[in-house]
A = this chain, B = another copy of it.
Amino acid sequence: MGSFKGHAVPGTFFCLIGIWWTVRCILKYTFKKHKRTSFLDSKALFHRIEILEGIIIVGMALTGMLGEQFIPGGPYLTLYDYKEGQWVQLMGWHHCTMYFFFGLMGVSKILCSTIRSLPVSLTKLMLSIALLVEAFVLYNHTHGREILDIFVHQLLVLIVFLAGLVAFIELFIHANITIELLRISLILLQGSWFFQIGFVLYPLNGGPAWDLVDHDNIMFLTICVCWHYAFTIIIIGAIYAFVTWLVKSRLKRSCPSEIGLLKNAEQEQESEEEM
């Protein structure tokens, strides 16, 4: 991980999964609104998608863990060097631990989708645990580094902790698109912040490195994370507009006569949506 690539890989992962979840969440919400039109067997589809998602998450976590272990100079599954009397590559083991919990989340996703007796909220709990464990490990991760390095990681801890907290709250609040989008926006922010950490600590362009002890840089990164979040919110808004437009245009083409009914239905449901 101690490189730009090491931060870009999880960043890309969280950005992709965040965008995918945004699309899925908004699709689900739009389908639910137009529930009288069953132009697609959406429930069965979502079920199969859930399993696929679980497999992809497990695959990504495995890739991450194997990558951390078997890169040149990695620990190669050795934890303690008895000759030297010291721990081997604890940073790598930290990253493995975080990946492992996301793997567990993927496994629970697959199990909850295939075994019907399992409570569905288990997946949400595992997501919350994976995020909180990530925040906990990252919190104890940056001992003895420079002030700016610690600061960018503390911001990451804050983001991940908030994401975990919102996922935990979701356990008790069902089918609330607002809170779901909040959690997803924090996941997306996490992804884009991984890139920012990469840019700060391992500048790509070969330009002058950031001064790690200058307090002005901290002042800038404070607002930088807010701009990332504003950008995230705008991205989600754009996806919302696009998905809603897509669904409406496809509905119009497949069943133009029903549109009039739909509009009335929408207005009726409005008061329920507030719940």
Contacts and interface: CB of A to CB of B under 8 A. Distances in A.
Main secondary structure of the interface of A (DSSP, over half): helix
Contacts of A144: 215
A39 interface: no
A215 B273 contact: no
A230 B100 contact: yes
Contact of A171 (B137, B179, B233): B179
Given A117-B266, A119-B178, A230-B104, A222 B172 contact: no
Interface residues of A, number: 58
A270 interface: yes
15 contacts: A90-B219, A94-B223, A97-B223, A97-B227, A100-B230, A120-B273, A120-B274, A121-B176, A133-B229, A137-B226, A140-B218, A140-B222, A144-B215, A174-B274, A174-B275
Interface of A: 30, 33, 85-87, 90, 93-94, 97, 100-101, 104, 116-117, 119-122, 124-125, 129, 133, 136-137, 140-141, 143-144, 171-174, 176-179, 182, 208, 215-220, 222-223, 226-227, 229-230, 233, 244, 266-267, 270, 273-275
